[in-house]
C-alpha cells in the first residue's frame, strides 16, 4: 500500500488534473455557447457553431462528473462544506448547465425564429453563468470561506450568497469568463471558416489580452491579501482532523510557496506567456496553436491558484484553525489507495476515448454540412 502522505499529495495532483481536464475540454463548450449570440449573426451561423461542439459536449462533461466524484471520495469534508455553503451558487450552476442539453435538443425542434432565438439566449446563459461562478468560487477560496467546525467535525457555513460577491471574487469570476470564452473562440477558429472564423479570431485576440490583464491584476491583488499559514507541527500521516492544528492569517502569505519552492513560479509565468501567445496566434490566423495556447493559459491559471494555496484546500476566514488542508481533510488511507487504483484504470480510458472522439470528428464545419443527414442540430 502506498504511503498515506504520498497518497494525499497524489490526490491533490489528480484532482488538479481533473479540474484542468474539465476546464480545457468542457471549457470550449461553455465558451461557444456564451459566444453564440455575439459571433453567430444568423441561424445558419449559429447552427454551425453548435454543430462544432455537438459531438463532444456530453462526453466532455465526464470530466466535470469525475472531478466532483473525486472530490467526494478523496476530500469528503471539502465536499460537505462546499456543497452546504455554496449551495445556492452550485444550484444556479447546475440549472444553467441543464440549459445546454435542453437548448441543443429543443432549439432544432421548430423553425420559428423567435423559438430559436429564445434557446440561443438559454445556451448563452448555460455558458456564461457557470463560467462566472467557477471563477467566483476560486476567488472565495483565496479569500477564505466563512465556515466553522464543532468538536464533532460538523461544519456550519456562516456566510451568505451575496457575501460571496466581493470585488476580488468578481475579478476572479471575470477572469474565468474571459479565459473560457476565449477558449471557445479558439475552438471556433479551428472548426469553422468564413465570417465565423474571422469574428472568432477578433474575439480571441481581445479576450486573450483581457484575460492576461485580469490574471496579472488578480496576482497583484493576491500579494496584498491575507493568506493562511500553518503555525503548528503537522502530522502528515495522521487520521484527518482539521482541529488538530493552528493556523495564522498573514498578509501576503499566499506568495510564500513561490519563495520556498521557486519552481512553482512556472505556473503564473505559463499563464501569462500562454495568454499572450494565444493572442499572437489568433492574430496570425493559426487556430490550432491558438487553441493549444488557450489550453495552456487555462492550465496556468488553475495551477497558479493551486500552487499559491497549497497545502490549503478550503481555508476558513471565521475559524482559521478549522481550515481544510491536504493533510487533514482527506479520506482514509485505504480509501485513497483504492481510489488511486481506480483512477489509474479509468482516467486513461477517459483520455483515450476523448482523444479518439476528437480525431474522428476532426475537420471544419461549413454551411453546406448543415444539409447532411448526420447533422443533428
Instruction: Give tens-digit pLDDT for 218-228.
Output: 999 999 999 99
Provide mean pLDDT across the span 191-205: 92
Residue 363 pLDDT > 80, yes or no? no
Residue 185 pLDDT > 70, yes or no? yes
Percent of the chain with pLDDT over 90: 61
Q: What is the reported pLDDT for 376?
A: 64
Tens digits of residue pLDDT in 8-21:
999 999 999 989 98
Name residues whose C-beta falls within 8 Å of residue 245's C-beta, 6 or more positions apart in sequence: 230, 232, 234, 321, 325, 327, 328
H helices present in 75-193, as ranges: 76-85, 87-107, 113-143, 167-191
pTM of the entire predicted model: 0.92
Rounded (to 5) percent helix, strand, coil in the chain: 75, 5, 20
Point out the least confidently predicted range of 140-144, 252-256, 345-349. 345-349
- What angle, 0 to 180 degrees and rounded to 10, lies between the N-to-C axes of helices 194-224 and 4-39? 130
Residue 230 pLDDT > 60, yes or no? yes
CB atoms within 10 A of CB 232: 10
* Domain ranges for the chain: 4-359
Residue 174 pLDDT > 80, yes or no? yes
Q: What is the reported pLDDT for 353?
A: 82
Q: Contact, 323 vs 242, CB < 8 A? A: yes
Q: Which residues pair with 248 in a beta bridge?
A: 229
Provide mean pLDDT across the span 98-103: 87
Point out the least confidently predicted range of 18-27, 289-298, 354-363. 354-363
Residue 159 pLDDT > 80, yes or no? yes
Point out the least confidently predicted range of 117-121, 309-313, 318-322, 353-357. 353-357
Q: What is the reported pLDDT for 334?
A: 92
Q: What is the reported pLDDT for 59?
A: 79
When the pLDDT of each residue in the chain is averaged and rounded to a whole number, the result is 90
Amino acid at each position: 500500500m502506498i504511503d498515506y502522505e504520498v497518497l494525499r499529495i497524489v490526490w491533490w495532483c489528480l484532482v488538479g488534473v481533473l479540474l484542468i481536464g474539465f476546464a480545457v475540454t468542457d471549457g470550449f463548450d461553455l465558451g461557444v455557447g456564451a459566444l453564440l449570440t455575439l459571433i453567430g449573426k444568423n441561424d445558419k451561423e449559429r447552427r454551425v457553431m453548435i454543430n462544432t461542439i455537438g459531438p463532444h459536449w456530453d462526453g466532455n462533461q465526464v470530466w466535470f462528473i469525475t472531478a466532483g466524484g473525486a472530490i467526494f471520495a478523496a476530500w469528503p469534508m471539502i465536499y460537505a462544506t462546499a456543497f452546504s455553503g455554496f449551495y445556492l451558487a452550485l444550484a444556479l450552476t447546475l440549472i444553467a448547465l441543464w440549459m445546454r442539453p435542453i437548448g441543443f435538443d429543443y432549439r432544432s425542434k421548430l423553425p420559428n425564429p423567435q423559438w430559436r432565438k429564445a434557446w440561443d439566449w438559454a445556451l448563452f446563459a448555460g455558458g456564461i453563468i457557470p463560467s462566472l461562478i467557477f471563477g467566483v468560487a476560486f476567488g472565495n477560496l483565496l479569500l477564505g470561506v466563512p465556515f466553522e467546525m464543532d468538536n464533532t467535525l460538523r461544519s456550519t457555513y456562516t456566510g451568505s450568497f451575496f457575501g460571496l460577491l466581493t470585488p476580488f471574487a468578481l475579478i476572479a469570476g471575470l477572469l474565468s469568463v474571459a479565459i473560457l470564452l476565449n477558449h471557445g473562440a479558439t475552438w471556433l477558429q479551428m472548426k469553422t471558416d468564413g465570417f465565423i472564423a474571422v469574428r472568432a479570431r477578433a474575439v480571441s485576440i481581445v479576450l486573450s489580452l483581457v484575460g492576461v490583464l485580469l490574471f496579472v491584476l488578480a496576482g497583484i491583488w493576491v500579494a496584498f491579501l491575507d493568506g493562511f499559514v500553518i503555525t503548528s507541527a503537522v502530522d502528515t500521516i495522521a487520521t484527518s482532523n482539521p482541529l488538530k492544528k493552528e493556523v495564522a492569517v498573514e498578509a501576503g502569505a499566499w506568495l510564500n510557496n513561490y519563495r520556498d519552492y521557486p519552481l512553482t513560479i512556472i505556473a503564473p509565468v505559463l499563464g501569462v506567456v500562454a495568454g499572450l501567445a494565444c493572442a499572437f496566434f489568433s492574430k496570425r490566423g493559426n487556430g490550432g496553436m491558438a487553441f493549444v495556447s488557450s489550453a495552456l493559459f487555462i492550465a496556468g491559471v488553475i495551477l497558479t491558484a493551486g500552487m499559491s494555496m497549497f497545502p490549503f484546500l478550503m481555508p476558513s476566514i471565521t475559524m482559521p484553525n478549522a481550515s481544510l488542508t491536504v493533510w487533514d481533510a482527506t479520506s482514509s488511507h485505504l480509501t485513497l489507495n483504492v481510489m488511486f487504483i481506480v483512477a489509474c484504470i479509468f482516467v486513461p480510458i477517459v483520455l483515450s476515448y476523448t482523444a479518439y472522439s476528437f480525431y474522428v470528428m476532426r475537420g471544419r464545419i461549413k454551411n453546406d454540412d448543415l444539409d447532411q443527414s448526420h447533422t443533428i442540430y
